[in-house]
Structure 1
Amino acid sequence: MKKYSPSENAFYDNVINSVMPSDVFEISEKEWGDLLEGQTHGKLICCGVDLRPCLTEQPLPTADELIRQAEDKRGRLRAAADIAIQPLQDANDLGIATEDEASQLINWKKYRVMLMRIDAKDAERIIWPEQPDQ
């Protein structure tokens, strides 16, 4: 049987946990299953006003979290651009780039420049550039 602690907003099981907070109480298997089901659909388990576990919406990300997410995305896209550019740049440097490779190199470099011009501090208004065709 699962147990819930409102003070910890945590679940406990007699089989796993030998030490539990003093405020734990049993919840039904159905309640436990409903909570897990809600969590799989993006809900957050929290302590309700009645001190029982309940489901709520996930909080919206903070401005700092949005900035961090935008910076992370820009970093991932920049790394992908770097990987695409390197062999094209090598072919160009060696004077053996085809017309298509030279064109791709220019497109990828423009894309990379556009990525680096993105201001992550204005994360909610970012319009991400489209990746060039490969």
Structure 2
Amino acid sequence: MTYTNEEYAEMAIKANEEGKALKEVKGKLKLVEPAPIHLSDEQIVSQNKAMKISLINEANEKIAILQDVIDLDMLEADEEVQLKKWKKYRILLTRVDTSDVNALFPEKPV
């Protein structure tokens, strides 16, 4: 069966919304459960490293802003407490062993 670009796009959007995959079954496009993705240990370690870098960068940004607030005496609410939490979080991130495929990352401060 032939589908127009619009029909295909409509099916693809629906599949995405439902967390499904598009698959041709007996000449017709069907929404099916996606096949599980199996990553190699190398891929997982690579993702762990990227995640660690990204989370440390985010923590650095939060810390820099909170430090500026304190340095310029522009404190509101619990910003000094937030700064300590983000610094602790950053330290915990640096201790994550990304070479472990089961690496656990600390929870972000709230």
* Shorter-chain TM band: 0.5 to 0.7
Match of 2:10 in 1: none
Q: Which letter maps to 1:76?
A: S
Q: Work out whether 1:42 is the aligned partner of 2:34.
A: yes
Residue number among 93, 105, 110 corresponding to 1:128 in the alignment? 105
- TM-score normalized by the length of structure 2: 0.65
What 5-or-longer segments of structure 2 have no aligned partner? 3-23
Q: Which letter maps to 1:31?
A: K
Rg: which structure is higher? 1
Q: Work out whether 1:102 is the aligned partner of 2:80.
A: yes
Residue number among 2, 26, 32 corresponding to 1:31 in the alignment? 26
Match of 1:68 in 2: 46
**Pairwise CA distance, 1:109:** 0.7
**Pairwise CA distance, 1:66:** 0.5
**Pairwise CA distance, 1:89:** 0.8
**Pairwise CA distance, 1:67:** 0.3
- TM-score normalized by the length of structure 1: 0.55
What 5-or-longer segments of structure 1 have no aligned partner? 3-28, 44-56
Q: SS at the partner of 2:85?
A: helix
- Identity, in percent, stands at 30
Residues 82 and 31 of structure 1: CA distance in aligned 2, closer, same or farther (over 3 Å): farther
Q: Which letter maps to 1:85?
A: I
Q: Deviations over 1:73-123 (max 9, x none)?
A: 222222221222121011222344357111111110110111111111012
**Pairwise CA distance, 1:72:** 1.7
Greater strand share, 1 or 2?
Answer: 1
CA distance in 2, matches of 1:75, 1:128: 12
Greater helix share, 1 or 2?
Answer: 2
Match of 1:115 in 2: 93
Q: Number of aligned pairs?
A: 89
Runs of 4+ in structure 1 displaced over 4 angstroms?
Answer: none
RMSD across aligned positions (CA): 2.4
**Pairwise CA distance, 1:131:** 0.9
